[in-house]
């Protein structure tokens, strides 16, 4: 079964636009690999957490800031389809 990616974010922090952008990037990159992306408002102030199914793969508070989309795509790929090439996102600087 394909996983669902959930982006849980604090609505009071105005992070919905960031979450929508990340959802778009995830859906574009993993069209065949994911069931969908869910945007969920958090009941906890300041929360921005990304889950694959119910397993957290990123937490803004633990990381001390936001993740770059390139890193997020790599983390998701590593969990759901390690063989998938991300093209230029896999290249090192």
- When pLDDT is averaged across residues 82-93 and rounded to a whole number, the result is 77
Q: Which residues contact 89 (CB under 8 A, 6 or more apart)?
A: 70, 73, 74
Distinct helix (H) and strand (E) counts, the chain: 3, 4
Residue 92's pLDDT band, with cuts at 50, 70 and 90, is low
Domain boundaries, the chain: 4-90
- 4-90 has which fold? Glutaredoxin (3.40.30)
Give tens-digit pLDDT for 26-65: 999 999 999 999 999 999 999 999 999 999 999 999 999 9
Query: Which has the closest alpha carbon to 74: 55, 87, 64?
Result: 87
Query: Which has the closest alpha carbon to 72: 50, 53, 54?
Result: 50
Strand pairing report for 36-41 and 4-9: parallel
Give tens-digit pLDDT for 62-77: 999 999 999 999 999 9
Give CA 74 to chain center in angstroms: 10
In this prediction the pTM is 0.92
């Amino acid at each position: 079964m394909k996983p669902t990616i959930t982006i849980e974010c604090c609505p009071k922090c105005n992070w919905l636009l960031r979450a929508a952008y990340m959802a778009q990037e995830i859906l574009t990159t993993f069209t065949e690999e994911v069931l969908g992306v869910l945007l969920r408002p958090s009941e906890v102030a300041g929360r921005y957490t990304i889950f694959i199914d119910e397993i957290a793969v990123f937490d803004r508070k633990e990381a001390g800031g936001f993740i770059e989309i390139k890193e997020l795509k790599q983390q998701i790929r590593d969990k759901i389809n390690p063989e998938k090439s991300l093209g230029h996102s896999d290249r090192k600087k």
